[in-house]
Amino acid sequence: MDMRSNVDLVDRRPALVDPHEDFQAITKRVAAPIEWKTPIGWWLFFIPSVLLAASYGGSVAYLVWEGTGIWGINNPVFWGWAIVNFVFWVGIGHAGTLISAVLFLFRQKWRTSINRFSEAMTLFAVACALSFPTIHVGRIWLLYWVAPVPNSMLAWPNFRSPLLWDVFAVSIYGSVSLLFWYVGLIPDLATMRDRVTSKLGKFAYGIFALGWRGSTRHWRHYEVAYMLLAGLATPLVLSVHSVVSFDFAVSQLPGWHTTIFPPYFVAGAIFSGFGMVLTLMLIARVIFKMENIVTMHHIDNMAKVVLLTGSIVGYAYAMEFFVAWYSGSQYELFAFINRATGPYAGAYWTMVTCNVVIPQILWFQKMRHNIVLLFIISIFVNIGMWFERYVIVITLTRDFLPSSWGYYSPTFWDVSCFLGSFGLFFTLFCLFVRFLPMIAMAEVKTVVPEADPHPEEAATGGAH
């Protein structure tokens, strides 16, 4: 029988991987970018990224030296871009684990081509995210007081503070994502160990491969562990952005104190995460010639997820207004009307346009398959989601007492920190695509037709 039919014999869906790819070809293709001699293009990305990251370091150094006053924050807007960027990055950091964990539990085989990539993105995004709450505190050198460790005051952290929940949620999310990512990497690191010729490469990959030799006795525990991690990461990923949303929802400020925040934040996070995955993936698959592994089928699915979550977010925006009116609280109602019509209405409508209006284009498959358009839309999604957080934070300008109302405008240092964080993000990303297999070979191999140990059963449609 023809193993190379265009139909995945396992689940009778269009093939996830180009049928002309066999095990060896997959390995070659994935390993290729690592084995190439460093391409110029990579440097063109890497050097600016490193410089940008360095500028972030510089900005932070000045910040710590001079004080948070160098930012635009003031009374009443005590949180500015730092927190906006934090939520923005955490949001992006959700798609990875979501794709890896949730889609894994739902046996969505199409995830295999993109999960490594998006997990990496998650880690780097979370790294950027964590940097912001760290540098935004007034006395960074005492930050360790948020950890439940005995200190000079014999006092403990206040576990009622959403900010403290944040510390736990995000840092734990980061570490669990790292574990998840690393566990997935082990077999591929072994592959690299067996392929590379350079002594250093052998040593490095060898160390991190932990002596993996594809033993079935190992696979047995490995698969269970991976499944457990996926099972744990799924509620975790949902909890993290809920907790982030608590920073606002658990306060009592008009426009912040709303119960819709957790689900709305999670949806937004997935939305922005997929937006960023698309942005990066659409570039990477071209540069690294991965079109056969990351097929239109994957792109199409991601576009659908963007459309869905985008619409959920849109629903949340509408529901906020309804609840604000229905609550009968004049403060609440004012806060929302002010968002749409007040001094910062521009930001609000940018958000709505980018997050709700533009993604509607994706209802049409034609559009979903237009790579360029898709790329542009993904950029808009990123912009829109940043503005969503900006709109939320800027709500601070007008709360209960008109006497304390004010305005907020960012300074040079707000901007430099934000751009700098992109430097950090892309630097890590460049290193990733250069030195690590950006696609989970072992996993992709499991979804090609040859992987099935019982071809004849499959051919006769027998279940296994």
Residues 308-337 that bind another protein (CB under 8 A): 329-331, 334
The residue among 366 and 456 lying less far from another protein, judged by its C-beta, is 456
Using CB under 8 A, which of 199, 217, 366, 461 touches another protein? 217
Residue range at the interface with another protein (CB under 8 A); choices 121-129, 373-381, 425-433, 447-455: 447-455
Using CB under 8 A, which of 109, 339, 389, 445 touches another protein? 445
Peptide bond before 76: cis, by omega within 30 degrees of 0?
yes
Residue range at the interface with another protein (CB under 8 A); choices 34-42, 115-123, 371-379, 392-400: 392-400
Shortest Cβ 360–another protein spacing (Å): 34
Using CB under 8 A, which of 8, 16, 17, 27 touches another protein? 27
169 touching another protein, by CB under 8 A = yes
Q: 């698969």: which residue's tokens?
A: 223
Evaluate whether 274 touches 17 at the Cβ level (below 8 Å): no
Q: Locate 234 and state its tokens.
A: 């799924």
What are the helix (H) ranges across 36-150?
40-66, 81-92, 95-97, 103-105, 115-136
190 touching another protein, by CB under 8 A = yes
Residue 315's contacts (CB-CB under 8 Å, 6 or more residues apart) are none
79 touching another protein, by CB under 8 A = yes
Using CB under 8 A, which of 39, 41, 235, 346 touches another protein? 235
Region 108-137 residues binding another protein, contact defined as CB under 8 A: 133, 136-137
Q: Locate 386 and state its tokens.
A: 């940043």
Shortest Cβ 310–another protein spacing (Å): 28
239 touching another protein, by CB under 8 A = yes
Region 253-282 residues binding another protein, contact defined as CB under 8 A: 253
Q: What's the rounded Cα separation, in Å, for the pair 169 and 146?
A: 13
Q: What's the rounded Cα separation, in Å, for the pair 66 and 64?
A: 6
Q: Locate 362 and state its tokens.
A: 């994706």
Q: Please state whether 7 falls in left (phi above 0), alpha (psi between -120 and 50) or beta.
A: beta
Number of chain positions touching another protein (CB under 8 A): 113
Q: Locate 160 and state its tokens.
A: 């009622």
